[in-house]
Amino acid sequence: MTSRIFMFFAASLAVCAANIAIDSQVLHDVFGDYKRGPVGAESNVQASAVTPVPEGTLVDLDYWDADSFSPAPADYDKFDWTLTKRVAASSDQNFLLSPLGLKLALAILTEAATGVTQNELSSVLGFDLDRNLVRRKFANIIESLQKESPQYILNLGSRIYIGDNAQPRQRFAAIAQEFYKTELKTVDFHNPAVASKEINNWVSNITQGRIPTLVDEDDVANMVVLVLNTLYFKGSWRHQFAPNATKPGAFYVSPKIQKSIQFMNVNDKFYYTESAKYDAKILRMPYMANKYAMYIIVPNSLSGLPRVLNDLSDLRLELNNLREYQVDVTLPKFKFDYTSQLDGILRELGIRSAFDVTASFPGIARGQRLDERLMVSKVLQRSGIEVNELGSVAYSATEIALVNKFGEDTEANAEVVANKPFLFFIQDEATRQLLFTGRVADPSLADGAFKLS
């Protein structure tokens, strides 16, 4: 009988209205049953204090305004962009990934690995050879994501569900708890109806219903271990699109195909640059509190996005050119779900032993016999995003399965019109971690999928 270990990442991002008076009917029209009220009422969060960091800068709610933009080194998120580029190359449709979600899940898996399995994971992910440096890095990322504010919600949770036929090593359990804030919880996988319900309830609760069903009974039947990370973000555009300014316009899916789409508009101060390298416009759109931001890369030509995607490794360098301008922004409303099976890509990138009989995961012990040891069988991420006048919603779930080895009215200085396929990413500004990367190829499409076996 085949036993399985699944490793998931579930994430959800929602962005709602800025803190200005908005008619309740407008809120209902845009968000449906959206209940206006203090964000703290949903998550019991409090505003975080301004905290100095060793370099003397301030990581606080308004640090962007207090300091100039300083992007991370180009190789800081090499894996994230490599993954994005590979999925983007698979088709010309919409896609959405959570690079951070996958890295968090794989980082915990790496802690359970040894030998070639661990070396391949660390190499492809770009981890330092010093495990303590890696642990501190992720501990700092998680600490940053858990900073609380009344202007946004970010729920972050991590669990490892352990079946009764597996026993985690104490050292692995301690590392998971200390550095990755990961809770170990026993579950009866021999009762898949109960196990799947418990798992789905936990994910749905943290993602506030955005991912109500992550696993089904067949997924968890005879499972050994499930590693699960969940993330939910809800905030507000700092510069809100006025709902009454939204109007239909043409979106050019290709030079020969155009569709009528609802476009939003805002004219305000944004960090912006015209990139000669990519022949594209790059725009930074912050959320309230300036801790998180969405970046939009819109090519100047209708068929220019491949030029951007083919050389993503230099995108961070281009961000050095961002300067504050009065920008007139026209952005389509869009909403879509996306499912990607990523084990094939990870194999191509060099993570091979983890999927083979040579896999070594002694941190999650099931037994010493060859037929009792474990290997990765599947990596799946489910995600989705919605962007409208008041903000956006995004969510994702990454599953890694292991089996037995066998508003200002001012004339604009610049204009960004996203009426053609464009790239976007959402990041934590304090750590420069990519929460989401994606492409809008057709705002009218509601779902998509990618699989490379």
Q: Are residues 229 and 323 in the same domain?
A: no
Question: Which range (69-73, 290-294, 446-450) has the least confidence?
Answer: 69-73
pLDDT at 33: 45
Question: Which amino acid makes up residue 253?
Answer: V
Query: Which residue from 142, 168, 146, 103 is spatially nearest to 351, judged by alpha carbons?
Result: 103
Q: Same structural domain for residues 165 and 251?
A: no
Looking at the fold, whether 176 and 205 belong to one and the same domain comes out as: yes
Residue with tokens 């030029």: 307
The band of 394, judged by pLDDT with boundaries at 50, 70 and 90, is low
pLDDT given at position 48: 32
Average pLDDT over residues 203-225: 82
Most confident of 168-182, 294-308, 405-419: 294-308
Are 272 and 420 part of one and the same domain? yes
Contact by Cβ (8 Å): 189, 221: yes
| The pLDDT of residue 423 | 97
Same domain? 341 vs 302: no
Q: Determine the pLDDT at residue 410.
A: 62
Supply the CATH number for residue 418's domain: 2.30.39.10
Query: What SS3 state is found at 33?
Result: coil
Over residues 167-186, the mean pLDDT reads 88
- CB distance 278 to 308 below 8 Å: yes
The predicted pLDDT at position 174 comes to: 92
Same domain flag for 327 and 343: no
Nearest alpha carbon to residue 428 among 179, 149, 18: 149
Q: Are residues 302 and 395 both part of a single domain?
A: no
What is the domain-level CATH number for residue 25? 3.30.497.10
**Claim to verify: residue 203 and residue 78 sit in the same structural domain:** yes
- Sign for the pseudo-dihedral over CA of 11, 120, 124, 404: negative
What's the pLDDT tens digit per position in 343-384? 889 999 999 998 888 888 888 866 555 556 677 777 777 777
Residue 222 confidence (pLDDT) above 80: no
In terms of pLDDT, which residue wins out, 6 or 351? 351
What mean pLDDT do residues 253-275 have?
95
| Shared domain check, 14 and 131 | yes
Whether 14 has a pLDDT exceeding 50, the answer reads no
pLDDT of residue 165: 75
166 and 107 assigned to the same domain: yes
Q: Structural domain of residue 433, as residue ranges?
A: 243-331+408-451
pLDDT at 369: 59
Shared domain for 185 and 78, answered yes or no, is yes
Question: What are the phi and psi torsion angles at 338 (to 5°)?
Answer: -150, 140
* pLDDT for res 30: 38
Looking at the structure, tell me whether residues 114 and 256 fall in a common domain: no
Number of structural domains found in the chain: 2
The better pLDDT of the pair 399, 58 is held by 399
